[in-house]
Structure 1
Amino acid sequence: MRFLALARAVSILALLQGGAASAAETGRQGAAEAPVMTPLVADVLAPPRVVPMSDGRNHLVYELRLSNVLDGRFDLTRLSVLDGGSGRPLLVLDRDAIGRRLSLGGRRGSETASLGASQFGIVFLHVSLDDGARVPETLVHEIDGFAEPLKSALSMRVAETPVIDKPLPVFGAPLRGQGYIAGDGCCDSIRHVRALLPLNGGFRLAQRFAIDWEKLDDENRIVRGDLKDVRNYVIYGEPVLAVADGAVVGARNDLPDQIPGALPSNLAIAEADGNFVVIDIGAGAFVLNAHLKPGSVKVRVGDRVTRGTPIGEVGNSGNSQAPHLHLHVMDGPDGLVANGLPYVFEAFTISAEAAAGTADFDQAEATGAPLTLTRKSPALIVRKALPVDLSIVDWQAPLSERGTP
């Protein structure tokens, strides 16, 4: 068996080293690309879609699956995302950066820069294009690494993918008023963008562009008083509004609120969204509003709603540890068995950002401590974009749109 493994490794190495042979050397004729053995097999789970963010840039968020076909370890040393047309690097990850983005089997918490024999992993990628930069038509991935069975450093280009650049759904406000924090939003906060699930025989990432909306009081607190009482959270009971016209294709209204402070245990996957409303907005896009207050859902399956219609109230039902509105868009009516799609809001104002990051946000939610904010002066008026993670968003119309001098 050891002889067979060695023979296989030697044959792969010979093919890898001989992959650049010319047509004259191989006797091949015609335009077809010559076959080349690669130690990694790669594909993109879903073609990246362009999403404009409140930082003024276009962003691409997607997943690259890598499978090691060798009998031993393959160590990745560099991964570059290239413009498929020009070859220009758009993102370059060194070994340390790869080790923060490559998850074995797609499981969060299993990050590594190496793939063992016959292992596969998912690289969660985020490309931020320079302000005003041309959107590439395609992307290709260049991988450098060391194949342990072959005792050889290798470089390969794999997984060319189209980039989808087309108009996105434009939404109205999901909530009223000001002081809302866009929690766990795009593009590097891992709770949503890496919520890859193996469902119904395939990988699904419905929450790729999800936002958990919470609200601050005038002292920048998410909660005051008893942390176990849902009523003490600033956002609890706030009216939830339909963000677009559409038809209600899913709803639930009977699940209780969870006690805040920890995610519930042994929750059935069918109850993960808690009380919810799903709206079919057309063109293959569906909006999920999740974790609603029990008894607050105002619509039923088959109802038509228009933008701004109250559809429920913010609660803490389902897989939730603090009251919030979870909102995402997907390509099917099920909140989990779907592919997440980008969207933008028509207009909003960013008054501040939680510059101290996710850890500070988590502490504010868990303890009632004030959130550390960096104020924007003047406030940033944003149109047709998605707010970046931990932006503080005001939904009232800007002065210029309210007719106020």
Structure 2
Amino acid sequence: MRLSLALSLLAAGASPPPSAETIQSLDVVIPLISSPLVSDGKTILAFEIHATNLSDIPLRLQNVRIVDADDGQAIATYSNEVLRQRVAQPGAGASSEAGSIGAGARAIVYVEPELPAGMRPRAVRIEMDGVAPNGHPFTLRSPPATVDRTQIPVLAPPFKDGTWVAVHDPSWARGHRRVIYTLDGRARIPGRYAVDWVGVDARGRVSTNDPDRPADAVGYDAAVLAGADAVVAATRDNMGEAGSIAGNPAHALGDGSGNYVVLRVARNRYAFYEHLRPGSIIVRAGDHVRMGQAIGAVGFTGDTTGPHLHLHVADCPLPLACEGVPFLVRGMTEVGRYRSLSDLGVKQWQDDNARGPLGPEWPGYNVVVRFTD
């Protein structure tokens, strides 16, 4: 959904004098608003707002509001530090001024609004407040952006047993949510809802012996299970592993996912199981697999800082050229959460939010789960 609106440099509600100045606006694009999904017991939307400043002056965002387009009911407001943490400028690096969109620059606002109880909006509207260099405020109000209603696939657990940390967080600069691939003339986020499953033991350790040896990782070689009755859409099993975690080299763009299996779990819905151990993949394209069937094993292939299973769902079977879409996992029991991932591998998780068994959910940020299927 695209819009381009003029921004009046006037306070809201003021009568425009004859000399009122009008400037070019932000060009706003919302690539995709996926179906609402349940995570951490809450119903949320997760999407991005792309705002490009086509004027020759910088514009600073102060507030971003999301409202139900039909009745105007407020869904969420992002302001001050909360907003600044959600604004990123691709390619600008740390030198860019937080919240300010420079002339000719693009900013992306990452939002995950929680829906009020009972609300399932047909469409949402975005409102942005900001200020121009001369100090005058502006407000941008978007046309409605439709919320997708495609049914969200529910996947069975990727593992039979063990304790696993669902590593992901939209605030990380290099987290999956903020990694954009621009291929074939279009920017996409394949890992919008991706989860990295990292195995831990009862003390929170990720390694049983040498932390630099991949085979000593707690989750290494664990059987990876198909999440649904599905058709195998693609596989790759020709990449080797580095002998040490520190010695894992950089990979070409198309090789970052390592060895993988892609399952067609529904129409236009493909589940990706990545970084699998060399030689462990026991299916091939065209095979029909049953839910819970072993398809490979956790490994250390591709771009990774340690053995784990990367899992995401996308709208086509290509690792980098598809849009990431929501999925739910059933059979989980939360035993805790890591509030700081710097503790992963050195401390046990915090267990004050333990809950379950859960209904189908998208795993919360950095929660620790055991599977009960």
Q: Return the alpha-carbon distance in structure 2 between the equivalents of residues 129 and 20 of structure 1.
A: 29
Paired position in structure 2 for 1:78: 63
Q: Return the alpha-carbon distance in structure 2 between the equivalents of residues 189 and 290 of structure 1.
A: 20
Alpha carbons of structure 1 residues 108 and 380: separation in structure 2 relative to 1, 3 Å: farther
Contact 1:79 1:92 in 2 (8 A): yes
Contact 2:280 2:297 in 1 (8 A): yes
Q: Return the alpha-carbon distance in structure 2 between the equivalents of residues 65 and 218 of structure 1.
A: 42
* Corresponding residue SS for 2:356: strand
Contact 1:61 1:127 in 2 (8 A): yes
Contact 1:44 1:159 in 2 (8 A): no
Superposition pairs of residues 377-392 of structure 1, within 5 angstroms: 379-392=355-368
Percent identity over the alignment?
26
Paired residue type of 1:292: L
Q: Return the alpha-carbon distance in structure 2 between the equivalents of residues 331 and 282 of structure 1.
A: 10
Contact 2:357 2:372 in 1 (8 A): no
Q: Return the alpha-carbon distance in structure 2 between the equivalents of residues 228 and 287 of structure 1.
A: 29
1:239 matched to 2:223? The reply is: yes
Paired position in structure 2 for 1:69: 54
* Corresponding residue SS for 1:279: strand
Paired position in structure 2 for 1:42: 28
Paired residue type of 1:211: V
Deviation at 1:50, TM superposition (A): 0.9
Superposition pairs of residues 92-241 of structure 1, within 5 angstroms: 92-105=77-90, 112-130=98-116, 132-148=117-133, 151-158=135-142, 160-184=144-168, 188=171, 191-241=175-225
TM-score, normalised with respect to structure 1: 0.82
Contact 2:49 2:108 in 1 (8 A): yes
* Corresponding residue SS for 1:193: helix
* Corresponding residue SS for 1:374: coil
Paired position in structure 1 for 2:341: 358
Contact 1:76 1:95 in 2 (8 A): no
Alpha carbons of structure 1 residues 104 and 273: separation in structure 2 relative to 1, 3 Å: same
Superposition pairs of residues 278-317 of structure 1, within 5 angstroms: 278-317=262-301
Paired position in structure 1 for 2:331: 347
Alpha carbons of structure 1 residues 66 and 257: separation in structure 2 relative to 1, 3 Å: same
Structure 1 runs not aligned, ≥5 long: 1-11, 23-35, 398-405
Deviation at 1:159, TM superposition (A): 5.1
Q: Return the alpha-carbon distance in structure 2 between the equivalents of residues 333 and 244 of structure 1.
A: 16
Paired residue type of 2:319: G
Paired residue type of 2:80: R
Paired position in structure 2 for 1:26: none
User: Relative to total residues, which structure has the larger helix share, 1 or 2?
Assistant: 1
Paired position in structure 1 for 2:18: none
TM-score, normalised with respect to structure 2: 0.89
Contact 2:69 2:123 in 1 (8 A): yes
Q: Return the alpha-carbon distance in structure 1 between the equivalents of residues 152 and 244 of structure 2.
A: 35
Paired residue type of 2:370: D
| Rg (Cα) greater in structure | 1
Deviation at 1:69, TM superposition (A): 2.2
Q: Return the alpha-carbon distance in structure 1 between the equivalents of residues 369 and 248 of structure 2.
A: 29
Q: Return the alpha-carbon distance in structure 1 between the equivalents of residues 135 and 347 of structure 2.
A: 54
1:335 matched to 2:319? The reply is: yes
Paired residue type of 2:123: T
Contact 1:249 1:301 in 2 (8 A): yes
1:276 matched to 2:260? The reply is: yes
Paired residue type of 1:112: A
Q: Return the alpha-carbon distance in structure 2 between the equivalents of residues 86 and 249 of structure 1.
A: 42
Alpha carbons of structure 1 residues 214 and 105: separation in structure 2 relative to 1, 3 Å: closer
Paired residue type of 1:138: A
Alpha carbons of structure 1 residues 235 and 159: separation in structure 2 relative to 1, 3 Å: farther
Alpha carbons of structure 1 residues 56 and 372: separation in structure 2 relative to 1, 3 Å: closer
1:325 matched to 2:291? The reply is: no
**Cα-to-partner distance string for 1:217-248 (whole Å, 9 max, x where unaligned):** 12221113212211111000000011011111
Paired residue type of 2:300: N
Greater alpha carbon shift after TM alignment, 219-228 vs 72-81: 219-228
Alpha carbons of structure 1 residues 262 and 375: separation in structure 2 relative to 1, 3 Å: farther
Alpha carbons of structure 1 residues 359 and 82: separation in structure 2 relative to 1, 3 Å: farther
Deviation at 1:105, TM superposition (A): 3.0
Q: Return the alpha-carbon distance in structure 1 between the equivalents of residues 91 and 33 of structure 2.
A: 17
Q: Return the alpha-carbon distance in structure 2 between the equivalents of residues 82 and 112 of structure 1.
A: 24
Say what the alpha-carbon RMSD is for the aligned residues: 2.6
Deviation at 1:372, TM superposition (A): 3.1
Q: Return the alpha-carbon distance in structure 1 between the equivalents of residues 143 and 210 of structure 2.
A: 51
Contact 2:153 2:266 in 1 (8 A): no
Q: Return the alpha-carbon distance in structure 1 between the equivalents of residues 131 and 277 of structure 2.
A: 53
Paired position in structure 1 for 2:347: 370
Alpha carbons of structure 1 residues 234 and 159: separation in structure 2 relative to 1, 3 Å: farther
Contact 2:254 2:320 in 1 (8 A): no
